[in-house]
Chains A and B, each alone.
Chain A
């Protein structure tokens, strides 16, 4: 088991290495470099030379990669171009904001999705299912920029209950953040919950039709006991991976929602730094987002392994 975990971690690190190579090479082959971007029209003559020298662009690419990579491993992403700030300082508050938005959405959305999925599956084709399924399909099909805009229109402008856009200082406390993020959380949860509830529903329906559930009924197991002992553990296993992907998607920044609500998270930072051609920041973001995906998927895989006795003994036998 330990060997397996180490193996998976090793594979994850290899993935990260490849991602770092691709982003570095990608930035490298783009026409122009950091200096031409930064200096814009003044990018000629001595100013350009000075910049190249200052940023160390005159050394060969592989040396620059090695230096950058070793810094990254130590947790130092270098300097951003636009503000000439250390990237870590640029990222810090953004990561925190994204984390807050994501965790609140997860805490509300995932349990809600599972409960809704189970209800719709157990009352399949009955009134609760028809009602909930209609709502979920509805909120799945509306694009988030429309639902977010509508939320602002109704709740913020017509009713005036909550602020329409998020204006928070970078040193805001968690509580201050919370009141500001209610609308973004609702907008995100609508779509996320709908997708996951549909998935849980079909998974539960599939398990309910299995031979072992029929057997449990014929054994005389009372209905709710059967649902909790025989159905849910087996139905929710495949949900783990979907939950993991959703979490990674949330942490990686929900670009559209962040832009509509003007929320300073990672997603907006990606857009901003790309349009500013702030290449060091883009590189740093690529690595961070890749690590989030790799890390969360690793956790999900290990959880599935632990919870599924079939996979567990298969791995141990190997």
Chain B
């Protein structure tokens, strides 16, 4: 048994409600962190995982206060310390790596100053020693040119670099315990894999204990020795990482793992019904009772305790956990989609589409000169068949949302044509499109909080497209709204609700219903599940698939998440820097041979399985502009063959599986290289 660094004992944290009632958002949490150990705390939004992590630094957010229990760091209670005492511990003994480093670095201070600040506070080094230490730290987190990096401002760095700076800052005080609050959320897949790799290296190199808080079981699986699963402010399952991920004996964890789309599985993940209970709404019984398919009457009346299972070395809060033992084979299953009965009619064609964000200069406009020779998106040729789901996938800056916007008519194309039904050219100007074309193409946005008007009820939101496109009113309008709600599995009583009275998943359902209200032929989905929790994401994916099977809609699905794309799409187009790299049926794109960029992306995906490690084949450099000549991926390609890549645009090659790859390397050679 190694030494325990921090121990949380019976901790409850809560707030006073407006009615003066005490409501706890963290209930009776106890756990120990050992020296050198990495503990993953996982849970969906609202599970209390961040509150727990911050409490472990003695920090309680404004409005909250500890109700009972203690956080013992080296047997001293952090929650009872004065701020003077805490300043001596924070950054020196326990350091934090925040979720969004871009917002967590002070904008008006240079990187070097912010690291230097930590060094001044927590070490006795003099100025020259500190300067040396700063470049050492920047070097350690593998930032390019650490000498000049110190003189930059946070906004001058990319997201991955900012996150590395935050890591360097946390390491400055040589802490015993590192607290990581969703440190890779919001980063691109390849960047995320690189940052995780760095964190793993640091844990091993320095022997620091880590607490890794995340909603992403994929990331947790890569770093953790032990996993704590939180639900509604309680620990429901706790044990060795491998056991939790491979043999989850709590129904919530089991459901959560099943709802994650996996690269190795075609078909949709199973969704978990319902949503997490609101704080304060549970009076008696198990907090997971409403959503559990193992629940009995006993669970409704009695609250389960955290029970220790000796043979698994696991703590579990469930009466019926025995039923889940040896159920692990079922984890690797998914719901098969109906094969797409696309009738091979092409409903939308993108022909040589280029889009440029560069504003034409006034004089160039007068001379009718095209100023931008290197547009953001170039040479896009995609034919979309009726009834298929085509996914556009790539990292940020790949132009996937840009293409979606120009199909919707929100962004003008520079060159090329968008053809709709029978090769009719759609104007790239929204105002020039006829009302029927506007109706036929609908858009669902990433964040339903921003796409639904907060001052409109669900009824008003849904009645707008019905009034606009079909001139409905009175009883008929109401009947249609109820039908739409039924389609997205929401009851009639939702009509009078405002968006703020809905959960994230419910809001996105309303957004889906609004898109379907127009009876569209094509729905453009822009990262529609990225803002949702995994279990909700699975439900929305299943809903979209069901609606498509019933109504024969065509989806253009934009996402950065390769596993989600694998689950929902029939065909995949991989984009890099606004240029197509690979396009083909999804089962083939996920098999080799792949375009080197697809290979990099696939390698970086984090699976919720400690045995599948990401393969890091390319650097996570951020390129600001596509190269002017040659292959778009030349700057990062691990398989670059020479000057030809820099000078000539690679040709399309079609593999025997039907996926087209744009690369200078012969497709058969690619296949043998990637085996």
Binding site for B on A (CB under 8 A): 209-212, 214-223, 229-230, 233-234, 307-310, 313
Q: Which of B116-124, B191-199, B442-450 contacts A (4 or more CB under 8 A)?
A: B116-124
The segment out of B27-35, B105-113, B272-280 that lies at the interface is: B105-113
Q: Are B87 and A215 in contact (CB under 8 A)?
A: no
Cβ of B244 < 8 Å from any Cβ of A?
no
Q: Report yes or no: A219 in contact with B107, Cβ–Cβ below 8 A.
A: no
Shortest A128–chain B CB gap in Å is 18
Does B420 make an interface contact (CB < 8 A)? no
- A-binding segment of B89-97, B332-340, B494-502: B89-97
Instruction: Out of A215, A219, A234, A313, name the residue touching B156 (CB < 8 Å).
Output: A313
> Judging by beta carbons under 8 Å apart, are A234 and B118 in contact?
no
A24 to B57, CA, bound (A): 68
Is the CB of B104 closer than 8 A to any CB of chain A? yes
Contact of A219 among B83, B90, B108 (CB under 8 A): B90
In the complex, 28 of the A-B residue pairs with CB atoms within 8 angstroms, ordered by the A residue number, are: A211-B99, A211-B100, A211-B103, A211-B104, A212-B103, A212-B106, A214-B59, A214-B98, A215-B98, A215-B105, A215-B106, A217-B59, A217-B90, A218-B54, A218-B59, A218-B98, A219-B95, A219-B169, A220-B118, A220-B121, A222-B121, A229-B106, A230-B106, A230-B109, A233-B108, A309-B153, A310-B107, A313-B155
Known: A219-B169, A229-B109, A313-B156. 13 other contacts (CB 8 A): A210-B103, A211-B98, A211-B100, A211-B103, A214-B98, A219-B95, A219-B118, A220-B86, A220-B92, A222-B87, A230-B109, A307-B108, A309-B107
Measured in the bound complex, the distance between the Cα atoms of B117 and A217 in whole Å is: 12
**Which A residue sits closest to B113, measured CB to CB?**
A229
Chain B contacts for A210, CB-based, 8 A? 103
Complex CA gap A211/B156 in Å reads 18
CB of B173 within 8 Å of the partner chain: yes
A313 to B100, CA, bound (A): 22
Contact partners of A223 in chain B: CB under 8 A: 83
Chain B positions within 8 Å of A215 at CB level: 96, 98, 104-106, 166
* Inter-chain contact A309/B106, CB cutoff 8 Å: no
Closest Cβ of chain B: how far from A247's Cβ, in Å?
Answer: 24
Interface residues in B66-106 by Cβ distance below 8 A to A read 83, 86-92, 95-96, 98-100, 103-106
* B107→A220 contact, CB < 8 A: no
CB distance from B96 to the nearest CB of A (A): 4
A310 — which chain B residues lie within 8 A by C-beta?
107, 153, 155
Tell me the B166-184 residues at the A interface (CB within 8 Å): 166, 169, 173
Q: What residues on A are CB-neighbors of B156 within 8 Å? A: 313
The smallest C-beta distance from B461 to any residue of chain A, in angstroms, reads 30
Chain B residue with Cβ nearest A233? B108
* Contact call A220/B89, Cβ cutoff below 8 A: yes
Q: Tell me the smallest distance from the CB of B241 to a CB of chain A, in Å.
A: 26
What is the distance, in angstroms, from A133's C-beta to the closest C-beta of chain B? Answer: 18
Q: Report B-chain residues with C-beta under 8 Å of the C-beta of A209.
A: 62
Residues of B within 8 A of A222 (CB): 87, 121
Could you tell me the distance between the alpha carbons of A313 and B107 in the complex, rounded to whole angstroms? 12
Q: Are the CB atoms of B108 and A221 closer together than 8 Å?
A: no
Inter-subunit contact B104/A212 (CB<8 Å): yes
Cα of A230 to Cα of B57 in the assembled complex, Å: 20
In order of increasing CB-CB distance, the 6 nearest A-B pairs are: A220-B91, A220-B90, A211-B103, A215-B104, A218-B96, A219-B91
Q: Which residues does chain B contribute within 8 Å of A218, judged by CB atoms?
A: 54, 57, 59, 90-91, 95-96, 98
Q: Decide if B108 touches A234 in the complex (CB within 8 Å).
A: yes
Determine the distance from Cα of A261 to Cα of B107 in the docked complex, in whole angstroms.
46
Which residues of A lie under 8 Å from residue B90 when comparing CB positions?
217-220
Are A214 and B104 also in contact (CB < 8 A) when A219-B118, A310-B155 are? yes
Q: B54: which A residues are within 8 A, CB to CB?
A: 218
A221 touching B107 by the CB < 8 A rule? no
- Chain A residues with CB under 8 Å of B109's CB are 229-230
Nearest chain B residue, comparing its CB with the CB of A309:
B153
Contact present for B153 and A313 (CB under 8 Å)? yes
Whether B106 lies near A219 (C-beta < 8 A) is: no
Contacts of A313 in B (CB 8 A): 153, 155-156
- Closest Cβ of chain A to B24, distance in Å, is 22
Task: Give the one of B98, B103, B104 with max A CB within 10 A.
Answer: B104
**Nearest chain A CB to B84 CB, angstrom units:** 8
Are the C-beta atoms of A219 and B153 separated by less than 8 Å? no
Min C-beta distance of B18 to chain A, whole Å = 16
Task: Please indicate which of the listed interface residues A211, A215, A234 has the most CB atoms of chain B within 10 Å of its own CB.
Answer: A215
The answer to whether A219 touches B117 (Cβ under 8 A) is yes
Tell me which of B89, B99, B105 contacts A212 (CB under 8 A).
Answer: B105
The smallest beta-carbon distance between A151 and chain B, in angstroms, is: 40
| Across-interface contacts of B83 in A (CB, < 8 A) | 223
Name the distance in Å between A25's Cβ and chain B's nearest Cβ: 28
Measured CB to CB, the closest approach of chain B to A131, in angstroms, equals 21
- What residues of chain A lie closer than 8 Å to B92, measured between beta carbons? 220
- Provide the bound-state CA to CA distance between A219 and B107, in Å: 16
Distance in angstroms between the alpha carbons of A307 and B109 in the assembled complex: 11
Please give me the residue from chain B that is nearest to A229 by CB atom: B109
> B103's closest neighbor in chain A, by CB?
A211
**Contacting residues of chain B (333-391) with chain A, CB-CB under 8 angstroms:** none
- Shortest beta-carbon distance, A315 to chain B, in Å? 13
Contact in complex: A220, B106 (CB < 8 Å): no
Min CB gap A281→B, angstroms: 40
Which chain B residues lie closer than 8 Å to A221 at the CB level?
A: 87, 91, 117, 121
* B13-44 near A? 1/0 per residue, CB < 8 Å: 00000000000000000000000000000000
Most chain B C-beta atoms within 10 Å of own C-beta, residue among A209, A212, A214, A229: A212
- Residues in chain A near residue B122, CB distance under 8 A: 220
Also in contact, A219 and B96, with CB within 8 A (given A234-B108, A310-B155): yes
